[in-house]
A and B are shown apart, each in its own frame.
Chain A
């Protein structure tokens, strides 16, 4: 009986330990890529519902506040990835696995491009998780199919953007570019402020932004693909969706 009590006690202690995973904070260190250590800052925190949230800074890759995706506790550690960002096409998402020693150190693995490197981080302070940008409500008048065209490299590209309102009125969009091939661009941000509309795709680094004309028949702006920016005028193609 004493043995059972002890076992139950150990189980309870382990259970309590599991729920007390001490991973919150700002963690700084590097992935030991051979010949090029990659320094990074990882911010981890629990949200109001107790779920893990986080963001990452990788100065050498020009990354600041990129949201962490698929955060999950795994034993005494956490696993996460970078979603569609920074992934090498054949190898999927850039992934992390961290274990925490309870004394301010975390070690684990950094997986990218089919390679694996040792990851070593130290807690340097409180978490500073970047807030994810959120789409804003979209004016009902803009919920429509919009079409336009631009030239890149001497070849025409046709653009179709379909704006819609979600249940809460927040803007959503589909974004298709047809050139030599058809590319569907995943849009993760739609913002409207005054007459200025912006659509953004973090994964592809493609965006469109422009001013809506007073009669709401055109959106005059630019399409950006990375650092390449070209003028693009969208014209309403149909009625409200």
Chain B
């Protein structure tokens, strides 16, 4: 009995810690620290209207998060925005010195976000004023010689599809985030002081997930790392595919989800992996035949939901076996991470549409198309809304692939992960707008 009292007390403290320590907060990338991408909030099963659209000055790659009625989202115009969920009016904007394709996290009245200025920013959620900034060794995109076969072969070229920055995770008073400098950082959430950093071999633009004292995060060096959240010590690392010739099939751009002791993650090597969270051993893999899995998988009710890039596959797997339950060929590349909201799965598509599918069957319930996608200037899309490849990637020389990628994204591509709150779907688009859809 004497031992039972401290045990109960410890359990109570642990529960309080989980609540106040943000592990249960919805205000972060993928909605929780384990990055399940699943929420109890109910998404609409039919499209009614665009409630409001908030315009920024650059494409929105960042995903919106909500805390106490305020939506926070980054924009490639360099700002972090706080927007009233009720009416879409701006509460404040915070200027960084670089694009913000990172998803903010909110904890204890502070918003944390990464910027291409190479800094992690902590901003007062109420006022929009800076609390602290932490300078990494600097941001950069993944780059390689002969990347995707781009010319000249011997010149290092930055990847136009490396569109995201790592999104901070806040757990137990620490901010965890990856960086283009190759490090994973743990910072004191209050002061921004460095707790530890862990060096990987290449750009870290995936976002960390947390479970049971462990941070799991992938790097473009082809490894997925499990790190002790307290010390930064490596617990294990898992080796994905390599591609020494054109560096097309390498790197963890996808962020992991951790559920019931299993890490689920996509990879540029075209696999969706299930990895034992304790040992780092592979449980199963699902091969997507050369098509990247960029978005983070969602895990809900024994299913793993993800989407592929150029093969445009929407896939639902059995979480235990890795066997496909639903597989649907969509119209265009998907980089965005799916969100499970009740019996609806929301997925952003790079052709400028947001799609809502039935969780069980994968049947398309409704879709929303940006105005830019409808206009389809320059015939970026074919008449059936697929990418019009013959008119896009016409040369591998100089900046042509970069121009082609930008042109591709000009239809209001949706890189952003949808957020669902109070029956409203919030999602950013490359047309610079944050949409509230109901």
**Residue in A94, A114, A152, A180 whose CB lies within 8 Å of B287:** A180
Chain B 17-37 against A: per-residue CB contact (8 Å), 1 yes, 0 no? 000000000000000000000
Chain B 358-387 against A: per-residue CB contact (8 Å), 1 yes, 0 no? 000000000000000001111101111010
B395 interface residue per 8 A CB criterion: yes
Which residues of chain A from 200 to 227 have any CB-CB distance to chain B below 8 Å in the complex?
225-227
Would A154 and B394 count as touching, CB distance under 8 A? no
Chain A 27-66 against B: per-residue CB contact (8 Å), 1 yes, 0 no? 0000001111010000000000000000000001111000
Q: B246, B250, B390 — which one has the most chain A CB atoms within 10 A of its CB?
A: B390
- List residues of chain A with CB within 8 A of the CB of B250: 154
Would B377 and A227 count as touching, CB distance under 8 A? no
Would A181 and B243 count as touching, CB distance under 8 A? no
Docked pose: A137 CA to B389 CA in angstroms: 35
Chain A 171-206 against B: per-residue CB contact (8 Å), 1 yes, 0 no? 000000000110000000000000000000000000
Would A151 and B245 count as touching, CB distance under 8 A? yes
Would B396 and A60 count as touching, CB distance under 8 A? no
Interface size for chain A: under 10, 10 to 19, 20 to 34, or 35 or more residues? 20 to 34
Would A180 and B289 count as touching, CB distance under 8 A? yes
Chain B 123-140 against A: per-residue CB contact (8 Å), 1 yes, 0 no? 000000000000000000
- List residues of chain A with CB within 8 A of the CB of B149: 225-229
Closest-CB distance, A112 to chain B (whole angstroms): 7
Would A87 and B390 count as touching, CB distance under 8 A? yes
Closest-CB distance, A39 to chain B (whole angstroms): 13
- List residues of chain A with CB within 8 A of the CB of B269: 153-154
Given A34-B378, A61-B394: A90 touches B386 (CB 8 Å cut-off): yes
A3 interface residue per 8 A CB criterion: no
Would A113 and B246 count as touching, CB distance under 8 A? no
Chain B 206-245 against A: per-residue CB contact (8 Å), 1 yes, 0 no? 0000000000000000000000000000000000011101
Would A36 and B386 count as touching, CB distance under 8 A? no
Docked pose: A239 CA to B391 CA in angstroms: 44
B195 interface residue per 8 A CB criterion: no
Given A62-B395, A114-B384, A227-B150: A153 touches B378 (CB 8 Å cut-off): no
Docked pose: A24 CA to B245 CA in angstroms: 47
B408 interface residue per 8 A CB criterion: no
Closest-CB distance, B180 to chain A (whole angstroms): 23
B249 interface residue per 8 A CB criterion: yes
Would A61 and B290 count as touching, CB distance under 8 A? no
Docked pose: A132 CA to B383 CA in angstroms: 32
Would B382 and A88 count as touching, CB distance under 8 A? yes
Which residues of chain B from 117 to 163 have any CB-CB distance to chain A below 8 Å in the complex?
146, 148-151, 153
**Residue in B153, B241, B381, B390 whose CB lies within 8 Å of A94:** B390
B388 interface residue per 8 A CB criterion: yes
Would A112 and B390 count as touching, CB distance under 8 A? yes
Docked pose: A60 CA to B400 CA in angstroms: 10
Docked pose: A89 CA to B382 CA in angstroms: 10
A149 interface residue per 8 A CB criterion: no
Docked pose: A71 CA to B150 CA in angstroms: 35
- List residues of chain A with CB within 8 A of the CB of B376: 34
Closest-CB distance, B327 to chain A (whole angstroms): 15
Closest-CB distance, A21 to chain B (whole angstroms): 29
Given A33-B379, A153-B290, A226-B396: A113 touches B249 (CB 8 Å cut-off): no
Closest-CB distance, A3 to chain B (whole angstroms): 50
Would A36 and B242 count as touching, CB distance under 8 A? no
Closest-CB distance, A8 to chain B (whole angstroms): 47
- List residues of chain A with CB within 8 A of the CB of B200: none
Which residues of chain A from 108 to 164 have any CB-CB distance to chain B below 8 Å in the complex?
112-115, 151-155
Q: B153, B241, B394 — which one has the most chain A CB atoms within 10 A of its CB?
A: B394
A74 interface residue per 8 A CB criterion: no
Closest-CB distance, B387 to chain A (whole angstroms): 9
Would A35 and B377 count as touching, CB distance under 8 A? yes
Would A153 and B246 count as touching, CB distance under 8 A? yes
- List residues of chain A with CB within 8 A of the CB of B396: 226-227
- List residues of chain B with CB within 8 A of the CB of A228: 146, 148-149, 245-246
Q: A36, A88, A112 — which one has the most chain B CB atoms within 10 A of its CB?
A: A88
The 6 closest A-B pairs by CB, nearest first: A114-B383, A35-B377, A36-B378, A153-B249, A228-B149, A227-B396
Given A35-B375, A88-B389, 17 more pairs with CB closer than 8 A: A33-B378, A35-B377, A36-B377, A36-B379, A38-B391, A86-B390, A90-B386, A94-B390, A113-B383, A152-B246, A153-B241, A153-B248, A153-B249, A226-B396, A227-B149, A227-B396, A229-B153
A-B contact pairs, 25 of them (CB 8 A): A34-B375, A34-B376, A35-B377, A35-B378, A36-B378, A38-B391, A60-B394, A62-B394, A86-B390, A90-B382, A91-B383, A94-B390, A112-B391, A113-B383, A114-B382, A115-B379, A115-B383, A153-B243, A153-B249, A154-B241, A180-B287, A180-B289, A226-B149, A227-B153, A228-B245
